[in-house]
Amino acid sequence: MSLFGKHEAMPEDAYVNMQKQMMMMPKDQMMGKMMELAKMCTCPSCPTYNECAKNAMETMFCNRGMSFHCIKEMKGCICPTCPVAKMQGLTHQSFCAMGNEKTQRFNGMLKE
Ligand code: SF4
Ligand code: SF4
């Protein structure tokens, strides 16, 4: 009988593998990787992205989490076409309003 029930074995999809790889990196290497990914973020081209977010230099909500106080109205999401989504194996979107991939995955598990 599993101690943690049905969620003990986390599915080893591309996102989980990527997170494990990132966690094993030395901190400076991980920061470098994050900066590299942030440069690829296409949020600034999204109709939902606004002047406030631009001025606050908010990007890469899929990793950093939802917009702190700028994005309140959704006008579509172009995350599925972003290269970061493919590279990181993201399965969610609308991160600026719904929280990062990790949060949305966890929230999804709680609803099961
Ligand atoms: S997946 Fe979305 S939030 Fe993440 S880097 Fe790409 S456009 Fe930005
Ligand atoms: S997370 Fe998605 S909805 Fe939000 S600004 Fe980025 S591309 Fe647009």
Residue 93 domain flag: yes
pTM of the shown model: 0.89
Residue 71 domain flag: yes
Residue 55 domain flag: yes
Q: d(Cα 98, Cα 68) in Å, to the nearest integer?
A: 12
Number of structural domains in the chain: 1
Residue 105 domain flag: yes
Structure confidence at residue 75 (pLDDT)? 98
Structure confidence at residue 83 (pLDDT)? 97
Range of the domain at 104: 44-112
Cα 8 to middle of ligand 2, angstroms: 31
pLDDT by residue for the chain (112 residues), tens digit each? Answer: 444 445 555 568 999 999 999 999 999 999 999 999 999 999 999 999 999 999 999 999 999 999 999 999 999 999 999 999 999 999 999 999 999 999 999 999 898 7
Cα 41 to middle of ligand 2, angstroms: 9
Residue 10 domain flag: no
Structure confidence at residue 111 (pLDDT)? 85
Residues 98 and 104 sit within 8 Å (Cβ to Cβ): yes
Q: Is 53 in the pocket of ligand 1 (CB under 6 A)?
A: no
Q: Is 90 in the pocket of ligand 1 (CB under 6 A)?
A: yes
Residue 65 domain flag: yes
